[in-house]
Structure 1
Amino acid sequence: MTIKPTRVHAFNHADALGHHDAVALAGQLQRGETSATALVQAAYQRLELVNPELHATACLQEEAALAQARFYDDVGNFRAFQGIPGFLKDNLDLQGLPTQHGSAAMPDTARKHTSAVAQQIIDTGVVLLGKTKLPEFGLTATTEYSKAEPAHNPWNIGHSTGGSSGGSAALVAAGVVPIAHANDGGGSIRIPAACCGLVGLKPSRGRLAMNEMAKSLPINIVSDGIVSRSVRDTAAFFALAEEHYKNPTLPPLGHITTPGRKRLKIGMFTQKISGDETDTACVEAVHKAAALCEELGHEVQEIKVPISAQFADDFLLYWGMLAASISHLGKLAVDRHMDTGKLEPLTHGLAKHFTRNLLKFPFALRRLYQFEAQYATAFADLDVLLSPTLGQPAPPLGYLALDLPFEQARERLVNFASFTAAQNVAGAPAISLPMHHTAEGIPVGVHFAAAMGHEFRLIELALEIEQAQPFKMLA
């Protein structure tokens, strides 16, 4: 009997990717020590090795990716992230590939145009190898399906990758590519980063180009970015992206390469807004992070949860509104060929939750509109908030299954994704850092949040933390 390993990764020293992050690979390209073609070929070879266990991809474009890599090699004079292989999450359009949003209800039809965010990523030089899995329309915090194979966590393939950017996180953690696109409407960059042991920065609202799916939302809760294995990759990506789109309402980031000099006032809390207990491993991770920050000269003080329990109910109702829009208006709002009869049970459950509470929605929406100003008051005498990223480490697959009875699914989801939604409504930045592991080796993320437009503060702090305590990777 063959026993399958619980951990799966593709890191090795024999191919062009090695153990390097994107910044290191970009340097090799610029010095002529490797080629874009070699990097892209190595990534596809690594994908072939691990994807039978991870099931992280939605679709590929190998011919187009290799053609782009050969173009960069022919031109030479590499700059930025030109030639670095990556992936796009399957909820943005990329010309020539379908966009199915993780849903069996969506048609498998190639798109004719490339979305603004995808183009911005391409403009940084990243060669997109294909698209990664997400749960249906990103509506839950695990990359699972009721009738299809889930994405598997490379740290333990019996556990969830988190969601909704779970496919991207699995491939970066497993060493297939150094970075991959992710986006975040309630924690969907930070949650899979925490589950898969990665760096996940949700930027301020509007930092990257507008996500087309977010344009019609009453409150734009969606921010795009990446997941990476190093803070410097995240910093470099946002600096490069800023060269192609700079939001005039936000302070520019520039390329942050060193920790900040200012010693920060950090407010720490570990309690969920529901009042339920947070898993001990997540609490331990926060206390270790706080101790490290104090060693580095920052001031850490314990504070009360700066968010009311009402917020969780209001956000869930807003989430239900999104599901109801898909369920009832999908053919008009998403795709006229959409088959709403194939939507997941959780999507229908969230939609029903919204319709049952329809009369409460105007009041919930008003409170959510007011939340941005309320959230800003938390930074009147603090620079950064510190909390767990999640209420518990990555759970076994099935714990957040999409066909659970709705009330059970709701309770588990709210208690798991307990700390991330506030920044989506406020529009503020937050980052998850892989600072801890359980006794079983499952990554545990620590969450730092800042005021609107203050990504620089999070990146500077993250660089300092990473230098003091290098993050553990699968390799």
Structure 2
Amino acid sequence: MRPDEYRSHDALGLAALVRTGEVTPVELLEVAMQQADAVNPHLNAIIRRMDAQARERLTGPLDGPFAGVPFLIKDLGQDYRGLPTSAGSRALADLPAAEHATVVQRWLDSGLVVFGKTNTPEFGAKGITEPDLFGPARNPWDTSRTPGGSSGGSAAAVAAGVVPVAGANDGGGSIRIPAACCGLVGLKPGRGLVPMGPVQGEAMHGAATHGVVSRSVRDTAAMLDVLSGGEPSGPYVPGTPSDTFLSQVGRDPGRLRIGVCTASSINPEPHPEAVAAVEASARALSDLGHHVEFLDEPPVDDLALARDFLTTWFVYLAWEVDDAKRRSGRKDRSFELDTQIMAALGRAHSSVEYVDTVMRRHDHVRRLSGYFTGYDLLMTPTLADLPPRIGALDTPRVARRAATGLLKTRTAGLLRHSGLVESMIDANLNWIPYTQLANLTGRPALSLPLHWTPEGVPMGVQFTAPLEGESMLLRLAGQLEQALPWDHRQPPAAETGGAGRPR
């Protein structure tokens, strides 16, 4: 099989070729490795190859809906027994996992052949993928730009045709942001539907979950069938539909009531292309018979939600740093300065303040639930701006010097009162203000590749649904995939392996 033939199939398509004997799993793995060898030097999407493990797996029988399909897992929260899960951190880079993560085991049980782990920012703490340990991942559509984060390595690899689908996870947009940056499908399942174990019952009080980035809606749906359902060590028995998620793709979604909002207190002036993406999608939805209504303001106070999100994230990151120290025996110098700053901000909050922040989620949930009494879905841009250039979001040198001094004198808690949180909201959430809502409220949300700029840069459109809305999202996504197809698009790096600009 030639690389161009390989790239023309989604994962279910490749699995069908394996079942009929038209291609073998060995051939698929070899062409996936060939594509990785061609593009990864320019994209830095894969930071650990697992060729030996993959070839060993091919010596035994494979079964399941994705039997024989090459696959990549994210180097964060997706443990593979015997190999480190670095989470983009030097502190964990040499610490092997004792067992497979539940989602990794489910992927293996579905017949996938894992041959690598993908790049991620340290502890997944940013919407870009530029860890000090491995260096930046790059966007196949324009290698001067980020592929997003924190699942940026997975998204870059899928967009560049290394694999048709790859492991991802999402605590504040980390599936949907890179999907939007790289022209992919990215579904964040609702709270508790996909397990986080066996090490953790849930992460970030349920705000984080596992999933995939893919090129087709049906792959995303079939992957949700593989991943969904509880586990003995989990905190919930999640409700699952009587029909498969894959069976939803192609079904008529009916006439949906869709509220459309581009307004954001965090970014009052989103990029014209972000607005254009939503307006064009709204016209297409109206043509399909849906009721589309533009809103003057978001259904939830997004600035207050952003503050609560960052407080939760900073405190959780402080715990992650301390946990990494306990497990590895490493000291603070093993962590990036930005990580140390965020962890210090987390430690500056009292336990009561933190619980107060977590409890305020119920206010956001109630407001969003009230919105869903009148609408079926909320549509927004996924991104408020173009994917940033590599290095554009580096912490300014002056701020780094000031933070270093405070960290050395153990007075870093003063950072909380320095205006740094406000500047971090502006710098890090300004271009992605729409994604955290689904995480803090636990609702499912989906980014679809419905728009490209004239320069060829993808801009996703996001749909947020009420509880148990995954099936509705997949039905609508299948309809839009037919109306506004994207599978014919190929980024320059996929075809040449080079660092070409978008066409």
Using structure 1 for the length normalisation, give the TM-score. Answer: 0.91
Match of 1:3? none
Q: 1:123 to 1:345 in 2, by over 3 A?
A: same
Match of 2:372? 379
2:169 match: secondary structure = strand
Match of 2:318? 324
1:197–1:443 Cα contact (<8 Å) kept: yes
**Could you tell me which amino acid in structure 2 is paired with residue 57 of structure 1?**
I
2:274 match: secondary structure = helix
2:450–2:460 Cα contact (<8 Å) kept: yes
Match of 1:414? 429
**Could you tell me which amino acid in structure 2 is paired with residue 249 of structure 1?**
P
Match of 1:287? 279
Tell me if 1:341 matches 2:326: no
- Superposed CA offset, 1:325-369 (max 9, x none): 23345323xx23344322112212212333444464333222124
Question: Equivalent of 1:441, from 451, 456, 480?
Answer: 456
- Counterparts of 2:204 and 2:484 in 1: how far apart (Å)? 41
Q: 1:375 to 1:213 in 2, by over 3 A?
A: farther
2:476 match: secondary structure = helix
Question: Equivalent of 1:42, from 19, 28, 31?
Answer: 31
1:146–1:403 Cα contact (<8 Å) kept: no
**Could you tell me which amino acid in structure 2 is paired with residue 473 of structure 1?**
Q
Match of 1:158? 144
Tell me if 1:81 matches 2:53: no
1:90–1:131 Cα contact (<8 Å) kept: yes
**Could you tell me which amino acid in structure 2 is paired with residue 38 of structure 1?**
E
1:42 match: secondary structure = helix
**Could you tell me which amino acid in structure 1 is paired with residue 179 of structure 2?**
A
2:460 match: secondary structure = strand
**Could you tell me which amino acid in structure 2 is paired with residue 266 of structure 1?**
I
Question: Equivalent of 1:473, from 490, 496, 499?
Answer: 490
Match of 1:206? 192
1:185–1:221 Cα contact (<8 Å) kept: yes
- Superposed CA offset, 1:269-289 (max 9, x none): 001242521111111101111
Match of 2:306? 312
**Could you tell me which amino acid in structure 1 is paired with residue 433 of structure 2?**
S
Q: 1:329 to 1:24 in 2, by over 3 A?
A: closer
Tell me if 1:271 matches 2:263: yes
1:113 match: secondary structure = coil
Match of 2:466? 451
Superposed, which structure 2 residues align to 1:208-223 within 5 Å?
208-211=194-197, 215=201, 217=203, 219-223=205-209
Displacement of 1:109 in angstroms is 2.8
Match of 2:43? 54
Tell me if 1:32 matches 2:21: yes
Displacement of 1:102 in angstroms is 0.6
How many residues in Structure 1 have an aligned counterpart in Structure 2? 458
Match of 1:388? 381
Tell me if 1:431 matches 2:438: no
* Comparing 204-213 and 389-398, the one that deviates more: 204-213
Q: 1:434 to 1:60 in 2, by over 3 A?
A: same
2:120 match: secondary structure = coil
* Comparing 244-253 and 149-158, the one that deviates more: 244-253
- Superposed CA offset, 1:239-293 (max 9, x none): 2334897974323251223132411000100012425211111111011111100
1:416 match: secondary structure = coil
1:211–1:222 Cα contact (<8 Å) kept: no
- Counterparts of 1:99 and 1:137 in 2: how far apart (Å)? 10
- Superposed CA offset, 1:275-330 (max 9, x none): 52111111110111111000000000012201112111111111111222233453
Q: 1:209 to 1:158 in 2, by over 3 A?
A: same
Q: Which runs of 5+ in 2 are unaligned?
A: 401-419, 496-503
- Counterparts of 2:466 and 2:291 in 1: how far apart (Å)? 17
Match of 1:367? 360
Question: Equivalent of 1:103, from 84, 89, 94?
Answer: 89
Q: 1:14 to 1:315 in 2, by over 3 A?
A: closer
Q: 1:93 to 1:338 in 2, by over 3 A?
A: farther
Using structure 2 for the length normalisation, give the TM-score. Answer: 0.86
1:90–1:132 Cα contact (<8 Å) kept: yes
- Superposed CA offset, 1:19-66 (max 9, x none): 111111111111111011111111111111111111111212111212
Displacement of 1:97 in angstroms is 1.3
1:198–1:434 Cα contact (<8 Å) kept: yes
- Counterparts of 1:403 and 1:21 in 2: how far apart (Å)? 42
- Counterparts of 1:142 and 1:236 in 2: how far apart (Å)? 27
2:129–2:149 Cα contact (<8 Å) kept: yes
2:196–2:203 Cα contact (<8 Å) kept: no
- Counterparts of 1:131 and 1:111 in 2: how far apart (Å)? 13
Q: 1:63 to 1:244 in 2, by over 3 A?
A: farther
Match of 1:129? 115
* Comparing 302-311 and 190-199, the one that deviates more: 302-311
- Counterparts of 1:248 and 1:326 in 2: how far apart (Å)? 26
- Counterparts of 2:199 and 2:434 in 1: how far apart (Å)? 24
1:170–1:196 Cα contact (<8 Å) kept: yes
1:17 match: secondary structure = helix
Q: 1:145 to 1:242 in 2, by over 3 A?
A: closer
**Could you tell me which amino acid in structure 2 is paired with residue 321 of structure 1?**
V
Question: Equivalent of 1:351, from 329, 338, 343?
Answer: 343
% identity of equivalent residues: 36
1:25–1:84 Cα contact (<8 Å) kept: yes
Match of 1:63? 52
Match of 2:288? 296
**Could you tell me which amino acid in structure 1 is paired with residue 69 of structure 2?**
I
Tell me if 1:21 matches 2:10: yes
1:282–1:388 Cα contact (<8 Å) kept: yes
Question: Equivalent of 1:168, from 154, 178, 189?
Answer: 154
- Counterparts of 1:52 and 1:462 in 2: how far apart (Å)? 33
